[in-house]
Amino acid sequence: MVFNTLHLNAFNRAHKSRTATTASPDLRRRCFRSVCKTLLLITILSVVPSLGSACGKKAIPTFTIFESGSDLAPKASGSADLTDDSGTVSGETGTQNRDLPANWFKPDESSYFPVVKVVDGDTVIVKISGQRRKLRLIGIDAPESVHNDPQQNTAEGAAASDFLRALLADREVRLEYDVGYLDQYGRDLCYLYLPDGTFVNEAIVRAGQAKLLTIPPNIKYADVLRQAQSSAQEDRLGIWGTE
């Protein structure tokens, strides 16, 4: 009787051991699948919100940081229409252009930016993505009106500033770059356009408020501006009416 009981207990222990051994691979597989599903669910939950945010976010013009900042640092200037030691332009702050415009070499024909200030007859400040950016119009040279030396300022310069201010008041402009995009004072070199298609650089020259100033390699519209100046001279407009 005792022998049978011991034999039966040994049989039961052996059976349980074989059952546990047989079941452990299945258990491991179930645990592995459960872990994989959990990780997959976590990944999906983390990715979906970012995709939704990217799809719903409105694209805005940005600027790519230019690695070689030493070549872009504005040089000292003696004119108030450029920059002072603190980077201020006629009382405006945050207008130093240290990065490369996103649409350099490739005009963005759909983006227009508000003009926040007309500095003088050939320099303006626009706001792009919340930041002020000062622009020097390519191919033209207006008489001085905001120079640090008052003796350099002229009535013709004031008239040029007034003309450009009236042209751009409460307006937005589109920017177009040429080969060289930055001048020695850290200003963007640009051609400007109004939404109605007006070529601002040409309009100033055609009205006799600025002279032609061609500096290679930015000569894309040199012929257009030269013709505008010839027409202004013939009609004795602006500065040509006093010469």
Q: Which of 133, 136, 174, 206 is catalytic?
A: 136
* Of 133, 144, 176, 206, catalytic: 144
Please name the residues in contact with 73: beta carbons below 8 A apart, sequence gap of 6 or more. Answer: 98, 186
Domain 63-241: assigned CATH number: 2.40.50.90
Overall pTM surpassing 0.75 (yes/no): no
Whether 30 is a known active-site residue: answer no
Q: Is 175 in contact with 192 (CB distance < 8 Å)? A: yes
State yes or no: is 156 an active-site residue.
no
pLDDT in single tens digits along all 243 residues of the chain: 444 444 445 445 544 555 444 556 677 777 777 767 777 767 666 655 544 444 444 444 443 333 333 333 333 333 333 333 333 344 454 555 666 666 665 667 889 999 999 999 999 999 988 889 999 999 999 988 777 777 777 888 899 999 999 999 999 999 999 998 888 888 999 999 999 999 999 999 999 999 999 999 999 999 999 999 999 999 999 999 976
Q: Which residues partner with 136 through β-bridges?
A: 123, 189
The residue ranges of every structural domain in the chain are: 1-57, 63-241
Other CB atoms within a 10 A radius of the CB of residue 9 amount to: 10
Buried b (16+ CB within 10 A) or exposed e, 78-112: ebbbbbeeeeebbeeeebbbebbbebbeeeeeebb
- Say which DSSP state 218 is in: B
Catalytic annotation, pick one of 133, 174, 187, 206: 187
Bridge partners (DSSP) listed for residue 243: none
Question: Catalytic: 144?
Answer: yes
For residue 114, give the 3-state DSSP assignment. strand
